[in-house]
């Protein structure tokens, strides 16, 4: 899998977050670093197709061929503190709902497995809106992962997580250290980026 970013520019009204940003990455774990407001989340959203760039392009390539948007969407998981699940649905119902809209055939056992892996078994019947902020973050991670995507994008995965939650993120990162997978983590916490083979800084627009 190769991620190719070409002359990317993103503006919000008069504010240019970045411009002429280009890089290529073919490894397994990429970190995106930068200070608050530097554009990490904006870049990650552009990579995921959640935001359209003002100029430039993002290409996901497999064997030098561009992956179609449909295949990309099926192969991608995304977790971020700003991605919300349904408040009134329980932990299990949220994952079942996502499974249905993704048209994946995730078994009930697989859903239960990820609820257990993310330490949410004791609240599996509780509505998302009533969970603690750390539990909500754990469920966002489960939601991004339980369909076992080849590409996983995590924006500040450790936010609101305790030590066990942070270890879970490291465990996930280790799972993605193989050539079939690509994990991208955006964070301003160097500890979270330790698992990454390479780190790209948005401010300097280069690998460090």
Measured CA to CA, the distance from residue 18 to residue 205 in angstroms comes to 9
- Whole-angstrom CA distances from 138 to 26, 63, 142 are 28, 34, 6
Q: Is 140 in the site for ligand ATP (CB under 6 A)?
A: no
Measured CA to CA, the distance from residue 158 to residue 140 in angstroms comes to 11
Question: Closest separation between CB of residue 83 and ligand ATP, Å?
Answer: 13
Are the C-beta atoms of 31 and 193 separated by less than 8 Å?
yes
Judged by CB, which is closer to ligand ATP: 24, or 203?
203
Choose among 208, 192, 205: nearest CA to 17.
205
Report the residue from 188, 198, 201, 205 that binds ligand ATP according to the rule CB under 6 A.
Answer: 188
Question: Closest separation between CB of residue 18 and ligand ATP, Å?
Answer: 9
* Per-residue binding letters, 12-41, with ligand ATP (x by CB under 6 A): x--x-x----------------x-xxxxxx
Judged by CB, which is closer to ligand ATP: 12, or 86?
12
Could you give the angle at which helices 133-145 and 91-101 cross, rounded to 10 degrees?
A: 30
Residues that bind ligand ATP (CB under 6 A): 12, 15, 17, 34, 36-42, 188
């Amino acid at each position: 899998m190769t991620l190719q970013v070409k002359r990317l520019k993103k503006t919000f009204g008069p504010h240019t977050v970045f411009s002429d940003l280009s890089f290529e990455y073919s490894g397994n774990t990429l970190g995106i670093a930068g200070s608050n407001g530097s554009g990490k989340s904006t870049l990650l959203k552009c990579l995921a197709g959640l935001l359209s760039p003002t100029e430039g392009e993002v290409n996901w390539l497999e064997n030098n061929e561009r992956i179609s948007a449909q295949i990309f969407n099926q192969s991608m998981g995304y977790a971020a503190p700003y991605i919300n699940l349904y408040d009134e649905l329980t932990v299990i119902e949220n994952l079942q709902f996502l499974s249905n809209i993704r048209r994946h055939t995730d078994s009930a056992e697989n859903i239960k497995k990820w609820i257990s892996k993310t330490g949410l078994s004791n609240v599996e019947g509780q509505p998302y809106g009533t969970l603690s902020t750390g539990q909500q973050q754990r469920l966002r991670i489960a939601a991004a992962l339980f369909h076992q995507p080849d590409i996983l994008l995590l924006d500040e995965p450790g936010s609101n997580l305790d030590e066990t939650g942070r270890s879970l993120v490291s465990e996930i990162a280790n799972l993605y250290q193989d050539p079939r997978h690509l994990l991208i983590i955006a964070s301003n916490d160097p500890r979270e980026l330790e698992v990454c083979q390479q780190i790209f800084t948005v401010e300097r627009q280069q690998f460090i």
